[in-house]
Structure 1
Amino acid sequence: MADVIVVYHSGYGHTQRMAQAVAQGAGAQLLVIDAQGELPEGGWEALNTADAIIMGSPTYMGSVSWQFKKFADASSKVWYAEGWKDKLFAGFTCSSALNGDKASTLNYLLTLAMQHGGLWVSQGVMPSTSKAALRDDANYLGSYSGAIAHAPSDAGAGEMSRGDLQTARDFGARVAEVAGRFRS
């Protein structure tokens, strides 16, 4: 079984709930970026030995949170040594608007992975685009580059769409499956 890490920051609990669903699907370890943008003790070592890193951040003002950006900037030490070269990466995000410029956040995560010489794992879940599609269907929001979720600003994390959380679980399972193929 592949060693997958989900590293994420969550401001209000929605991205955390999504991270938990991704980790459940992947059988992955969760690694929280705290409110100061720091990893817990042993976090860098866990990332260095992982087969795949799934990154998550809320979308704030069209990009990752400052806490996630601080983590990304700190990864320059790993970048300089090419420590994550050829590692598998994937990403997810959540915002309060249906669009919310989530693609900008996913592109940021993808660019970070590419700067590290990584290999990106796409969503791999067809979108629910028929007239009969319902909001709680998997990949209803229609993302290909990573998992995305919508959480209204006045809704708690417990009110997230079942479809978005299922998409997150499916996404995590896909990353773990691809990592397993690369590992063998």
Structure 2
Amino acid sequence: MTTVAVVYHSGYGHTQRMAQAVAQGAGAVLVAIDADGNLPQGGWDTLAAADAIIFGSPTYMGNVSWQFKKFADASSKVWFAQGWKDKLAAGFTNSAGMNGDKHATLTTLFTLAMQHAMIWVSQGLMPSNTKAARRNDVNYLVSYSGAIAQSPSDSSAGDMLPGDLETARLFGERVAQVAARMRG
């Protein structure tokens, strides 16, 4: 059996909601980075035991939150021991803007994974980019490198669009399927 962990930071609950959808799709355990940038008790052990790690951060000012960056920097001890080498990795983000420079955040998550010698799993969903497409369609925001979502700055986490959450769920499902194939 494969194990998947979703390690994420959420400032206002939107990224947490997305993390929950990713975890639901992957059958994954959630590891929340707290407001001070720290993992919970046993968090590092959970990541060490996982076959795949899915990274999640809101996009703030065109990149990951400082709390996620603190976690990434702290992972240098794992990097030195090559503890995540050849594990699967993937990433997701949310921001208020339709674009919001989310790609820069995904690139940061990808770079973290590459420095750890991990194997990146892409989104794997076709885009909803026809004239008939609607905002609530799966992969409406069109990302190939990871899952992305958009939440207006004055919305609550409960207002997140079902299409974005379904995109996140399907993304988690894909990571779990790839992990199972790799392990098999």
- What's the TM-score, normalizing by structure 1? 0.99
- Structure 1 equivalent of residue 94 of structure 2: 94
- Which amino acid is the alignment partner of residue 146 of structure 1? G
In 1, the alpha carbon distance for the partners of 2:15 and 2:9 equals 7
1:159 aligns with 2:151: no
CA offset at residue 15 of structure 1?
0.1
CA displacement at 1:183 relative to structure 2:
1.1
Deviation, 1:11, is 0.2
Name the CA distance, whole Å, in 1 between partners of 2:124 and 2:2.
18
Q: Distance in 2 between matches of 1:67 and 1:24?
A: 24
**Distance across 1 between alignment mates of 2:163 and 2:79:** 35
Q: Which residue of 1 aligns with 2:7?
A: 7
* Aligned mates of 1:50, 1:183 — CA distance in 2: 12
Structure 1, residues 38-92: CA drift from partner, whole Å, max 9, x if none?
0001110110110000000000000000000000000000000111110100000
Q: Tell me the equivalent position of 1:127.
A: 127
Partner of 1:82: 82
- The one-letter code sitting in structure 1 at the alignment partner of 2:183 is R
Aligned twin of 1:111: 111
CA distance in 1, matches of 2:100, 2:176: 28
Separation (CA, whole Å) in 2 of partners of 1:13 and 1:165: 13
Unaligned runs of 5+ in 1: none
2 CA distance for matches of 1:82 and 1:104? 25
The equivalent of 2:174 in structure 1 is 174
The alignment partner of 2:148 has SS state of strand
Structure 2: distance between partners of 1:128 and 1:79: 37
Letter in 2 for 1:141: L
Give the TM-score, by structure 2 length: 0.99
Q: Give 1:2 deviation, angstroms.
A: 1.3
Partners of 1:158 and 1:87 lie apart in 2 by 33
One-letter amino acid of the structure 2 residue matched with residue 22 of structure 1: V
Q: Distance in 1 between matches of 2:138 and 2:2?
A: 24
CA distance in 1, matches of 2:164, 2:74: 30
Could you tell me how far apart the structure 1 residues matched to 2:49 and 2:80 are?
Answer: 17
Give, in whole Å, the separation in 1 of the partners of 2:143 and 2:2: 25
Any idea what SS the aligned residue of 1:2 has? coil
* Corresponding letter in the other structure for 1:183: R
* Counterpart AA for 1:53: I
- Once the 2 structures are TM-superposed, how far is the Cα of residue 130 of structure 1 from its aligned partner? 0.6
